[in-house]
Amino acid sequence: MDAALQTFIDESRELLVEMESGLLACERSTADAETINSIFRVAHTIKGSSGLFGLDEIVAFVHVVETALDRVRIGEVAMDRDFAVLLLNCKDHIQVLVDAVAAGSSLAVPHIEARCAELSGLLQKRAGSVKSIGAAKTTAPTPASSATPHATSATNAATSNWHISARFKADVLRAGMDPLAFIRYLNTFGKIHGAHVIESALPPLGEMDPETCYLGFELSFASTADEARIRSAFEFVIEDCTLAVLPPSSPITAYLEAMPEFGTNPALAGEILVRSGTLTSEEVQRALAPETVQGASAVPPDVAEAARKLAPVADVEKRAGAAERSIRVDASKLDHLITLVGELIIASASANLSARRAQNVDLQESTSRLSALVESVRDSALQLRMVKIGATFNRFQRVVNDVARELGKDIELVVSGEDTELDKTVIEKINDPLTHLVRNAIDHGIEPQALRIERGKPPTGTITLNAYHDSGSIVIEVSDDGGGLKRERILAKAIERGLVEPGKALSDKEIYALIFEPGFSTAEQVTNLSGRGVGMDVVKRNITALRGDIDIRSEEGRGTTVIVRLPLTLAIINGFQIGVGKTVFVVPLDMVDECIEFSPEAGHDYANVRGQALPFVRLRDLFKVPGAPSGRENIVVVRHAGLRAGLVVDSLLGECQTVIKPLAKVFSGVKCVSGSSILGTGEVALILDVGLLMQQVLAAANGEIQQASLHERRTA
């Protein structure tokens, strides 16, 4: 039961995400009938599943939500923005109830019960009174209540008269399902002309169980819909009932098969068909004439029985083939698999090295094949942890909706690049920084509606989330079309706090980077969302901890774009080994453009590469590696964020699979190194942080340019 309960919790959380997405569409007035049905389906599924585990508090509350949604489905209640907001609050409370079950907490606590009562009252006030679960279960349906007419465009001259035979299972009420709700739904696309309640299974009054369903229904249904559409009305309860949908002019044998309890009494079955309005008494008499019955039984009984058995099997196989085949795996098991693959890569590298040293051709071929297989296993294992970022992006629809409503702004979230894949571990850790960036864009970026209109902008602000792959990294952009960063105000605040010396010339990029300083804020007033100078420094720290970097582009009056660049995975990468003296470094292979022979311009820290200046940094000088440079040095040209630079090294050692090992805290102050890796020899190689190296190179190049410019001015 514990495993089943955990499955219920996981599935409920996934369903609530789907429900939230649908309700947000309703609030934006972009929902259609299918969206309403999907929201109803979520509530219905959660209520039914909760009933299986005896979670009566969840069943009772979700029953009220489901009933309100059912009245929206049949057109009795309109779905407007205020109602969607109320249902979003109900979704949040269902989430609280599910989380309480996951934590093993009691649901019968005052604050939860008070919230249930408050939301239930608001729902009933909006959608009309809702009977309790108990009342719904013990009220026997009658033909009059089942056949309440509703005006519908489905009933016209081309209407067909269908017959529906339904037998609900005994436990359908215990699962939290209301048979009448599904029968009422038929009136939304047709009209129930007549109904007969089958009470043959009803026990004596003293033996009745109020939680057991004993009833069945025979219905005459007029509609232009086809059989599939009629069956879809019962899709949520299809596993808890026996259903037969018969078209007009069906043979009498089909009606008898749909009512097996009357198989030995065709006359009584015919009487029920007359009562329900499906056939007239004359049609029943003709159908039950002896010659008609004999003619209908001309099909051999064994063939008919085989056809009845094969039909449901084929239907199940068809549904199974169409269903998405997936399996739930605990994340810790995937993490353990990645760890083992990493150890396998290290062992494979050691075996390759031993084979080369032994100069055994057969052994080298075997280890080569082993390496290829290990690489395939590595790629497959990493792919298991890759998930699409779209689910993370879609969560921000609710953030934008709630925060914009709180601030009185009209903001639309536009999402692109949802199919871009990223390691699950990275996605989990990027959620909080992205949340802060989005909330910051709403509060600081998007102007009030009146100001936007005054500036000639659309009254509705736009925040855009975009993701794409670039040079072995994933780039996430958070953009807004608001007022942009105020360059002069940021600079003045930085000078006031002593972060920048007065009179020092800074580029736009350097000025915008000042907002990541701890406690830095230019907000004129503190709000519930921001203004205290806390947040952006934490965002940068979290991004840096993921071996990523963050950049800002802004244009005052036009908007701001925050660019986050992250590695695709935190576990294993393809690397390129380089040597400086006896020290080995690793550069992510995706960032390597080319390797060329080192030929610097005399007196300058840049090289001439096919007529273009390429700034470079000497790793020997940067990391203070002892010893003299080799006679022939090389430059590894790396690319990052659209920029190119060179790394001067002694030797090129070739490609490798690199298992990333984090550095201990004692090395947290070491710059330009993002991690370490174990070589086949057992030695440790440092993995270079190309982003920080690029900053070192550009800073040195800018310093050289500034010195040259100053020298020219002094000479002049």
Contact call for residues 133 and 168 (beta carbons, < 8 A): no
Is 700 exposed, middle or buried, given 0-12, 13-18 or 19+ CB atoms closer than 10 A? Answer: middle
Determine the pLDDT at residue 416: 92
pLDDT of 329 strictly over 70: yes
Q: What is the mean pLDDT of residues 208-228?
A: 86
For residues 65-97, b (16+ Cβ closer than 10 Å) or e, as one string? bbbbbbbbbbeebebeeebbbbbbbbbebbbeb
How far is it, in rounded angstroms, from Cα 647 to Cα 617?
Answer: 5
**Length of the chain counted residue by residue:** 716
What are the φ and ψ backbone dihedral angles of 161, each rounded to 5 degrees? -100, 100
240 or 706: which carries more pLDDT confidence? 240
Supply the mean pLDDT for the chain.
Answer: 79
Contact call for residues 685 and 584 (beta carbons, < 8 A): yes
How far is it, in rounded angstroms, from Cα 142 to Cα 140?
Answer: 7
**Structure-block tokens of residue 241:** 């009932």
- pLDDT tens track for 623-639: 888 888 877 889 999 98
Determine the pLDDT at residue 302: 40
Sheet holding 572-580, edge to edge: 651-659, 572-580, 583-588, 684-688, 673-678
Q: Cα–Cα distances in Å, from 291 out to 287, 296, 297, 585? A: 9, 9, 10, 94
How far is it, in rounded angstroms, from Cα 614 to Cα 598?
Answer: 11
Q: What is the mean pLDDT of residues 546-558?
A: 87
DSSP SS3 for 620: helix
Helix (H) or strand (E) holding 412, with range, is strand 411-416
How far is it, in rounded angstroms, from Cα 432 to Cα 43?
Answer: 29
Contact call for residues 598 and 699 (beta carbons, < 8 A): no
Q: Cα–Cα distances in Å, from 207 out to 139, 167, 203, 474? A: 16, 20, 6, 66
Determine the pLDDT at residue 318: 42
How far is it, in rounded angstroms, from Cα 559 to Cα 411?
Answer: 14
How far is it, in rounded angstroms, from Cα 678 to Cα 680?
Answer: 7
Which pLDDT band holds residue 716 (cuts at 50, 70, 90)? low
Measured in whole angstroms, the distance separating CA 452 from the mean position of its chain's CA atoms is: 32
Q: What is the mean pLDDT of residues 668-672?
A: 77
Query: Nearest-CA neighbor of 570 among 465, 687, 476?
Result: 687
**Residues 6+ away with beta carbon under 8 Å from 459:** 410, 449, 452, 453
Determine the pLDDT at residue 88: 92
How far is it, in rounded angstroms, from Cα 32 to Cα 72?
Answer: 11
Q: What is the mean pLDDT of residues 431-435?
A: 88
**Structure-block tokens of residue 212:** 């057991």
- Rounded (5°) CA angle 668-674-680: 115
Which pLDDT band holds residue 95 (cuts at 50, 70, 90)? very high
pLDDT of 582 strictly over 70: yes
**Which letter does DSSP use for residue 526 in this model?**
-
Which range has the worst mean pLDDT, 12-21, 35-44, 296-305?
296-305
- pLDDT tens track for 270-324: 778 887 778 877 777 777 665 444 333 443 344 344 334 333 333 434 444 444 4
How far is it, in rounded angstroms, from Cα 48 to Cα 69?
Answer: 15
Determine the pLDDT at residue 530: 53
Is 309 exposed, middle or buried, given 0-12, 13-18 or 19+ CB atoms closer than 10 A? Answer: exposed
Determine the pLDDT at residue 423: 84
Determine the pLDDT at residue 99: 92
Answer positive or negative: Cα dihedral of 176, 181, 186, 189.
negative
Determine the pLDDT at residue 443: 87
Measured in whole angstroms, the distance separating CA 304 from the mean position of its chain's CA atoms is: 47
Contact call for residues 655 and 592 (beta carbons, < 8 A): no
Report the percent of the chain where pLDDT is more than 90: 14
**Residues 6+ away with beta carbon under 8 Å from 189:** 152, 154, 223, 225, 229, 233
Contact call for residues 406 and 441 (beta carbons, < 8 A): no
**Which letter does DSSP use for residue 572 in this model?**
E
pLDDT of 614 strictly over 90: no
pLDDT of 418 strictly over 70: yes
How far is it, in rounded angstroms, from Cα 44 to Cα 37?
Answer: 10
**Structure-block tokens of residue 590:** 């995706």
How far is it, in rounded angstroms, from Cα 198 to Cα 34?
Answer: 32
Determine the pLDDT at residue 697: 77
What is the set of domains in the chain, with CATH numbers? 2-130 (1.20.120.160), 143-316 (3.30.70.260), 331-385 (1.10.287), 387-567 (3.30.565.10), 572-712 (2.30.30.40)
Which pLDDT band holds residue 537 (cuts at 50, 70, 90)? confident
- pLDDT tens track for 68-78: 898 888 888 88
Determine the pLDDT at residue 234: 84
Determine the pLDDT at residue 715: 56
Contact call for residues 72 and 94 (beta carbons, < 8 A): no
Determine the pLDDT at residue 65: 92
Which pLDDT band holds residue 210 (cuts at 50, 70, 90)? confident
Determine the pLDDT at residue 601: 67
pLDDT of 710 strictly over 60: no
How far is it, in rounded angstroms, from Cα 560 to Cα 442?
Answer: 11
3-state secondary structure 204-271: CHHHCCCCCCCCEEEEEEEECCCHHHHHHCCCCCHHHEEEEEECCCCCHHHHHHHCHHHCCCHHHHHH
| DSSP letters for 670-712 | --SEEEEEE-TTS-EEEEE-HHHHHHHHHHHHHHHHHHHHHHH
Which pLDDT band holds residue 703 (cuts at 50, 70, 90)? low
Cα separation of the two ends of the chain: 86
Q: What is the mean pLDDT of residues 678-704?
A: 79
Determine the pLDDT at residue 158: 54
Q: Which residues lie across from 614 on neighbouring strands?
A: 607
Number of Cβ atoms within 10 Å of the Cβ of 716: 5
Number of Cβ atoms within 10 Å of the Cβ of 455: 10
